[in-house]
Amino acid sequence: MTTREKIVNIAAEMLSNNGFNAFSFHDIANAIGVKTSSIHYYFPTKSDLIVEIIHYSQNIQAALFEAISAKKPQEKLSLLIDFYVDLADKGQMCPIVSISSDMNDIDSNIKLEVGKFYDFLADWLTSVIEEGITKNQFATAQIPKNKSLEILNVLAMFPILSRLGKGPEILTSLKQSVMGNLTNRDILDNKISLKAQEIGQQKETIAHQAAVIAAQKKIIDLYEANGALEKWQLEK
């Protein structure tokens, strides 16, 4: 691992554990055994380092999403929640949650990158929910985008609850609640029933249209037959 990578890893851990304002370049230098000037060489300001941590964290999430891309929507959601449960069990926060708690003290570049990371997570989760709805694995009265934001807000609370001394059973219960809200059997069955009714109505409409077309064809055939008969009579 390069010195630059060590700096990012240690800083990311300090950010997740203690928040934006709870560590300095001096703390990082002591942790990895280098001079603070070495850190400034790679990252002139703390804001530069925080932006790199955000990119680093987003790459971790992107790798997770790629690794589970072939799984079913329910499994994708379950694994995402497990990722945040694991962070909470370690007493760590997602970087954007840690940074957001000090939003008044950070510059515009960091705010911009935090917004991009949040949108990245929300867009992925929205696509998973939409896929689940399409495949009749999820059902929700909410717009998928709004549902994804609701779930992300719940996940952001996991490390806070953990630090308040709430045990793993609380996080497990919350996970079950999130999953249950999207996989409510009554809603899914009702959705499937409505879809079946819609298909049945479409079939009836098609059958009716076919009957109308057949009747029209008979009328045309009779009209043509009458025309042929009249012509034959005239020719006689």
Task: Tell me the per-residue pLDDT of 177-212, one tens digit each, with 9 for 90 and over.
Answer: 888 888 765 554 555 555 555 665 666 667 656 665
- Residue 113 lies in domain: 3-183
Does residue 173 have a pLDDT over 80?
yes
- Output the pLDDT for position 116: 92
Among 21-25, 72-76, 136-140, top mean pLDDT goes to: 72-76
The DSSP 8-state label assigned to residue 45 in this structure reads S
161 in the same domain as 78: yes
Does residue 51 have a pLDDT over 50?
yes
191 in the same domain as 82: no
Q: Would you tell me how many other CB atoms lie within 10 Å of the CB of residue 120?
A: 15
Mean pLDDT of the chain: 82
Residues whose CB is less than 8 angstroms from the CB of residue 51 and which lie 6 or more positions away in sequence, other chains included: 109, 110, 113
Please state the rounded mean pLDDT for residues 142-149.
92
* pLDDT tier at 56, thresholds 50, 70, 90: very high
Return the closest-CA partner of residue 171 out of 163, 150, 202, 13.
163
Report how many domains make up the chain.
2
Give the least confident one: 79-93, 146-160, 162-176: 162-176
172 in the same domain as 117: yes
138 in the same domain as 38: yes
Q: Are 19 and 102 in contact (CB under 8 A)?
A: yes
Q: Is 71 helix (H, G, I), strand (E, B) or coil?
A: coil
81 in the same domain as 108: yes
Q: What's the longest Cα–Cα distance across the chain? A: 118
Does residue 224 have a pLDDT over 70?
no
234 in the same domain as 164: no
- Output the pLDDT for position 226: 56
How far, CA to CA in Å, does 117 sit from each of 22, 143, 231?
Answer: 22, 21, 81
Does residue 152 have a pLDDT over 50?
yes
